[in-house]
């Protein structure tokens, strides 16, 4: 999948040997854009602490999520952060591995 301008786009076929990862995936997929690549699990939707693909105001991006008391979350992306109710965003995929490009 390609993360392009806040949209998720189908970007062809991907296959990998995941035996090097000790985790069991329900639905692994590869996501990339111009700043990095991510191995994500499309089958994990139960939002918890960690990195996620979230839909915020109908735009998708990679965010670090921290659960807060009162059914709230703190969301961090590229040095910016905000807090909101957990029901104000949609978690689409859990990030399992992040690869950052160093050009």
Average pLDDT, the chain: 91
CATH class given for the domain over 2-100: mainly beta
Q: Alpha helix locations (H) across the chain?
A: none
User: Which helix or strand (DSSP H or E) is residue 37 part of?
Assistant: strand 36-41
Of all residues in the chain, what percent carry a pLDDT higher than 90?
68
33, 4 Cβ separation under 8 angstroms = yes
Give the rounded distance of the alpha carbon of 51 from its chain centre. 6
- pLDDT tens-place string over residues 25-38: 888 899 999 889 99
More confident call, 88 vs 20: 88
Give this prediction's pTM: 0.87
Task: For residue 56, give the nearest of 36, 76, 38, 41 by alpha carbon.
Answer: 76
Is the model's pLDDT at 21 over the cut of 80? no
For the chain, the first-to-last Cα distance in angstroms comes to 21
Q: What is the mean pLDDT of residues 67-71?
A: 95
């Amino acid at each position: 999948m390609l993360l392009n301008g806040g949209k998720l786009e189908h970007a062809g076929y991907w296959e990998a040997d995941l035996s090097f990862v000790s985790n069991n995936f329900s639905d692994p997929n590869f996501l990339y854009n111009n700043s990095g690549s991510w191995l994500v699990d499309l089958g994990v939707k139960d939002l918890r602490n960690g990195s996620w693909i979230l839909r915020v105001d109908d735009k998708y991006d990679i965010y670090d999520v921290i659960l807060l008391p009162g059914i709230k979350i703190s969301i961090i992306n590229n040095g910016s952060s905000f807090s909101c109710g957990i029901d104000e965003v949609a978690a689409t995929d859990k990030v399992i591995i992040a690869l950052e490009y160093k050009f």
